[in-house]
Structure formats: structure tokens, C-alpha cells
Amino acid sequence: MATPKTPTIAPAEGKLGVLTVGLGAVSSTLIAGVELAKRNMAEPIGSLTQMGTIRLGKRTDERTPLIKDAVPLTAINDIVFGAWDPFPDDAYTAAVRAGVLESGRHLEPVAEALRQVRPMAAAFDPQYVKRIDGPNVKDHTSKRKMLEGIREDIGRFRDENKTERMVMIWAGSTEIFLENGPAHQDIDSFEAAIDANDPTVAPSMLYAYAALQEGIPFANGAPNLAVDTPVLRDYATANKVPISGKDFKTGQTLLKTVLAPMFKARMLGVAGWYSTNILGNRDGEVLDDPDNFKTKEESKLGVLEGILQPETYPSLYGDMYHKVRINYYPPRGDNKEGWDNIDIFGWLNYPMQMKIDFLCRDSILAAPLALDLVLFSDLAKRAGMGGIQEWLSFYYKSPQVAPGLYPEHDLFIQLTKLKNTLRWMIGEDQITHLGLEYYLDE
Ligand SMILES: NC(=O)c1ccc[n+]([C@@H]2O[C@H](COP(=O)([O-])OP(=O)(O)OC[C@H]3O[C@@H](n4cnc5c(N)ncnc54)[C@H](O)[C@@H]3O)[C@@H](O)[C@H]2O)c1
């Protein structure tokens, strides 16, 4: 099939409402960072939309603008935040509680703006997130009422803030493990399941459905299904609403999707990959529950197999042992420590080891991804691109892809895909890296 023609992109006029589901560590860090950046009090480090460049044309053309100058992104000054959370804390209190940012340097200067973000009552059911129980919730005995309540919240937020467009992002806790089942196949079954309070319809799916019904793009930063169901995928495609997920790719998995392609590129074998984390934030506490951890584990485990293709290279990766652990360890708070021990082998099977100790900050790594996702999702919507946005795989551990496609996990292939999509959107040539033209005479 020929490349579809360059879309017309509606201008980014007016305010963009960013609705976060969950006002915890990631959301409060995102909001504080954006409010600081709006006031030129901090640089949005880690954000490709704000700091990244894109090469256009040939290497000799010397055209490498900032991405935000090349494509019509919403300016961060036009963002207004809203949120839902079962805890009633506003974004200032949530940020203090999360303990990610220094109060004097990064919270006090924007305290007023943060205090204005007060969470709406959450569509929350403790059955899906067992370690959390807050008072700021909707009645969860009727899924239909929860869905309607979310839509009413969206309408009210739109009116009160006079937003032109909106994006919803799931930065809520990881829900228990669920698989796609009969309720998720088509709209009739899904609607009936909502009316029947079917337990396979999780709150995240209600948020996602409400967003899509309102024409609002939905991005999923956690590994639970949310919008990753046949019914919501088809609905998003039919109604031209961008969707993407799942699970922000921030720490250990980010490293895996850089290192594993290197081993494979050099045809080095991998005998085992042991990954363990200690983490003390609320996310770590939720993931300490086996049902919630299973959702995360599935998301983290898929990456290596996807990249290394043991069925194609059985002698290199066929016997690889892959283990992932997350241990809740309160003293560390949001400062995660991730260890990787990788047993590799080379020429004539000689073994080698690589050990990585990544002392990272979870929400510091996740916040810029959340910002990029909302800005790119909004761009996609204005470009008329509905359904799965595979070009946003760059941001996810378990990229959502069309049925029958395997996800691309290699970080740099993902980046190439993202940038080529941006080039396509603005009518620029694709960059193939063939480069023969530099060596031909004419
Ligand atoms: N590096 C990272 O931080 C990273 C990476 C990948 C994925 N994630 C995922 O992002 C999500 C957010 O992480 P966090 O560190 O901010 O966690 P957090 O626990 O600090 O915040 C999550 C918030 O979501 C709220 N919540 C739970 N269910 C909700 C519902 N139904 N509606 C509204 N709010 C709800 C909780 O009360 C909590 O305040 C988690 O699912 C986490 O697994 C984070």
C-alpha cells in the first residue's frame, strides 16, 4: 500500500485540558514540572517534545529544528490540568506526600497553581487495586453510573476551564491482572457487561471508554488493559480518537530495550537476565500485591523475547532464563534501585557477565514521557489520526499494536518510527539511512 497522503493538521489554538487518572507521584511531578517550565523556572529535561530536534532533508541540508518548532504542538503554556484520585489531596499535597520534588526549590514557587488541581471523585473499586482505599470516590456499585459520572466530570472540566481540546492519561495505580474476554469483543457485549457490573470491566476501561465517547485521546501509562481491548480499539478507530499504551518505559525496561538489541546486533548469546528492583513509593506498595504485580510482570517479561526472538536464534537465546522482581522497600521512597545481572556468551561459548545498578528516580523519568504523550496524542487528534498510535511505542514497555503485528521494542527503531511519522505528518521525506546519494557523482 502507498504511504497515505500528508494529513492536514488543525492548529493548536486555545487551551488543552490534560486529565490525569491518578494524582500520585507521576502526575504531581508532571504538573509541578510543567508549571515550573511555564514560568521558565526549570528546563523540561527528558522531554523529546520540548528539547528534541528532528533532522529534515539530507544531512547536507543542515535543517535540524526543534521538534516543537517543526510540528504544530500545543505550547505548554496552554495546558490546564485536571485529575481524579481516591485521595482528596490537591496536587501540592500529593507532591509533598510523594516526596519526589524538593519543596523549597520546586513546589513552593508553583504552590498556588498546584493547589488549584483538586482531584475529582475517582471511579475506583478496591477490588482492582487492593492496597488503596481513599474516601474521594464515586459509588462503585454501578459501573454504568461510574461511566456517566466520568463523562459528567469531563463536561464540567471543559466548561469551567474553557478548554478547546483534551487528552486523558492513565497515571493511576496498576490494576489487577485481567485478560481480554467475552465482554471486551464488541460494543454490544461491552455495554451489556457495564450494565451487568461484570467484574472483567475494570475502572480503567470505564475511564478509557468515557474519554473515547467524548472524543478525547487516551494514553495508558500503566500495564493494565484500559484501552487495550478489541472493543475500545475498534471504537477509537471508528471515531478517529488516538489511543496508545501500555506502561511507561522508564527504568530497567528502558535499559533492556537498548542492551538487548546490542547483544542481538553482535550475535552474542544471553544465558540469563535477572532483574530486581527495590522501590518504596505507593506504586511499589500496590505492586507488592501478587495480583497487581502479575500485571506488571507480564509487561516487563515480554520485552526480551520480543527483541531477541529465541525461535529464530535458538542457540543464542533459546535457553535464556529471564526473571523480574519488584520488592517494596519503604525507606527508598520514589528512588528506585534496579539491579540487572546479565549472563552473556560469545565466540566459542565463552561466558561473560554484565552488571548494572541503576539508581534512578521513578517519577523524574516518567513525568517527561507523560508530557510527550499528551502533546503527541493531541497532535495526532488534530491530524485526524484515530485508533492505535504505534509511533508512540517509544514511550511504552508493552506497545499496543494492530492485531497480528508483533510490537517493536528496540528503543532506536521506535525513535526512528516516531520521527518518520512526524516527517510524514508535515510532508517531509522519510529518512531511510541508505545514504548512497552522498557517494554518487550526479
Ligand atoms: N517510572 C514510573 O514511575 C512508572 C513507570 C511505568 C509505569 N508506571 C505506572 O504509572 C502509574 C502511576 O505511578 P505513580 O508512581 O504515580 O503511582 P502512585 O501510587 O503514586 O499514584 C497512583 C495514584 O492513582 C490513584 N488511583 C488508583 N486507582 C485509581 C482510579 N481508579 N481512579 C483514579 N485514581 C486512581 C491512587 O490513589 C494513587 O494516588 C502506576 O500504575 C505505575 O505502575 C510508573
Q: What does the DSSP assignment read for 146-185?
A: HHHHHHHHHHHHHHHHTEEEEEEEE-SPPPPP----GGGS
Does residue 94 have a pLDDT over 90?
Answer: yes
Does residue 107 have a pLDDT over 70?
Answer: yes
CATH topology of domain 252-359: Dihydrodipicolinate Reductase; domain 2 (3.30.360)
* Coil vs helix vs strand at 357: strand
Give the Å distance between the CA of 63 and the centre of ligand 1. 39
Does residue 442 have a pLDDT over 70?
Answer: no
User: Which atom of ligand 1 is least distant from the CA of 174?
Assistant: 41
Q: How far apart are CA 24 and CA 286, in angstroms?
A: 12
Give yes or no for a contact between 55 and 66, defined as CB atoms under 8 angstroms apart: no
Q: DSSP state, 20?
A: E
Q: Residue ranges per domain, the chain?
A: 15-248+363-425, 252-359
Give yes or no for a contact between 46 and 365, defined as CB atoms under 8 angstroms apart: yes
Ligand 1 binding pocket includes 292 (Cβ within 6 Å): no
Beta-carbon contacts of 231 under 8 Å, excluding residues fewer than 6 positions away, are 184, 185, 186, 187, 189, 190
Cell numbers linked to 335: 528512588
Residue of 173, 277, 286 best suited for mutating to test ligand 1, as the one with most atoms within 8 Å of CB: 173
Nearest CA to ligand 1 atom 6: 248
Strands 337-345 and 269-279 turn out to be antiparallel
Q: Which ranges constitute the DSSP H helices of 20-142?
A: 25-38, 48-51, 67-70, 91-98, 111-115
Ligand 1 binding pocket includes 338 (Cβ within 6 Å): no
Give yes or no for a contact between 119 and 49, defined as CB atoms under 8 angstroms apart: no
The model's pTM: 0.96
Domains 15-248+363-425 and 252-359 share a fold: no
Q: How far apart are CA 404 and CA 278, in angstroms?
A: 35
Does residue 1 have a pLDDT over 80?
Answer: no
Nearest CA to ligand 1 atom 2: 362
Q: What is the pLDDT of residues 12-36, one digit of tens each?
A: 999 999 999 999 999 999 999 999 9
Ligand 1 binding pocket includes 174 (Cβ within 6 Å): yes
Terminal C-alpha separation, the chain: 30
Q: Rounded mean pLDDT of the chain? A: 95
- Return the CATH architecture of domain 15-248+363-425: 3-Layer(aba) Sandwich (3.40)
